[in-house]
Amino acid sequence: MTDSNPSPAQAGRATLPTLIALPLALILVAIFIALLFPWESVARRIIHEIEHASGGQVSMGALSPALSARGPVLVARDVVVLHRAVKRVRIDRLEIASRWSQSWLSGDPTMRIWADTELALIDGVLRLGDTPGFEGRVDQVEIEALPLRLESSGASLAGTLSAIVDVTLDPRGILTGRAEFESESLSILSDLLPVAIPFTRAAGTIEILDSGATHIESLTFEGELIEGEIDGEIAMAHRSQSPPIDLSARIRIIPPFLRDLAPDAGLRISDSGEVAIRVRGTLDSPRIEPLPSGGEPAPRSERKGRSSR
């Protein structure tokens, strides 16, 4: 009976082509990806989706694959976004990685993005489709460049902040969502104040409502002049108008010379400089009144009821 098992020499000759073919195939695939893959079509598709999601215009330089510290990505350089809210934003480097999930089958694809922009550093998940959105982190945000619509209020904010955000843009073009933010360089400037008020730390959570109003769930701040916390609502208003406000604040005034000004404003202040106030009216013409004893704000439903009248 003949032995059907191949000899070691025959086995070696049989596996040799396989050992050569595997890396050769990988090299051919890499050449195809680098040279022949239609990256221009992919770039046009990405631009279309970003324009649809943002309502702006996007131009993009070369798009090519790369291997980064975050794994395989597509890298776009010299990206420019034109939008009525921020005018013109340049993105020096944009890295994109597809997140394969059932969302692509439903027509709402998601992609992971990392962007180094003039406004901030961005790291998160971009949801495309009919209801686009973004969930992730933004760092080194230039507050002065944000579209806060404070031009008619005689007030402005400066400094930088970092935030964790989850926002959605519905088909009507209304932005909703939440943001948890923190800043170590926030300062407030106002025509009603003789000097800018700087803060060494500010942190809080805000929610953007369907009405366009900004609900401040909590905002704590610390500085050399004042410290305390604020909650309440800033209503939506046209850019030419100062937005209505309904805020409650518990503040401690630190310098004695500022404490001496409180009685002139009709406010009762404790020996330690603490005062509880409600601020209503508009940002450019606020009405300040003391809160009831104990400094607790009225229930949220009561505040909303008054603001809707």
Residue 306 has a pLDDT of: 41
- pLDDT value at 230 more than 90: yes
Q: What integer pLDDT is reported at residue 81 of this predicted model? A: 81
Strand duo 160-169 + 285-290: pairing: unpaired
Segment 253-309, tens digit of pLDDT: 898 888 877 776 677 888 888 989 899 998 888 888 888 754 444 444 344 444 443
| Angle, alpha carbons 246-248-253 (nearest 5°) | 130
pLDDT of 18 strictly over 70: no
Mean pLDDT of 113-121: 87
Taking the domains of the chain in order of start, what are their residue ranges? 15-128, 131-309
pLDDT attached to residue 200: 94
% of the chain surpassing 90 pLDDT? 22
pTM of the model as a whole = 0.71
Please tell me the least confidently modeled range out of 18-22, 121-125, 256-260, 288-292.
Answer: 18-22
Best mean pLDDT range from 11-15, 72-76, 232-236: 232-236
The 10s digit of each residue's pLDDT in 23-45 is 555 555 554 444 445 556 656 66
Q: Is pLDDT of 67 > 90?
A: no
Residues with Cβ within 8 Å of 259's Cβ and at least 6 positions away in sequence, in order, are 253, 269, 273
Secondary structure element (H or E) that encloses residue 3, with its range = none
Q: What's the CA gap between 267 and 172, in Å, rounded?
A: 44
Is residue 75 within 8 Å of residue 62, measured between CB atoms?
A: no
Judged by DSSP in three states, 24 sits in: helix
Q: Minimum mean pLDDT among 196-200, 247-251, 257-261: which range? A: 257-261
What pLDDT sits at residue 36?
A: 46
Give CA–CA dist 167/165, Å, rounded: 6
Of residues 9 and 59, the one with the higher pLDDT is 59
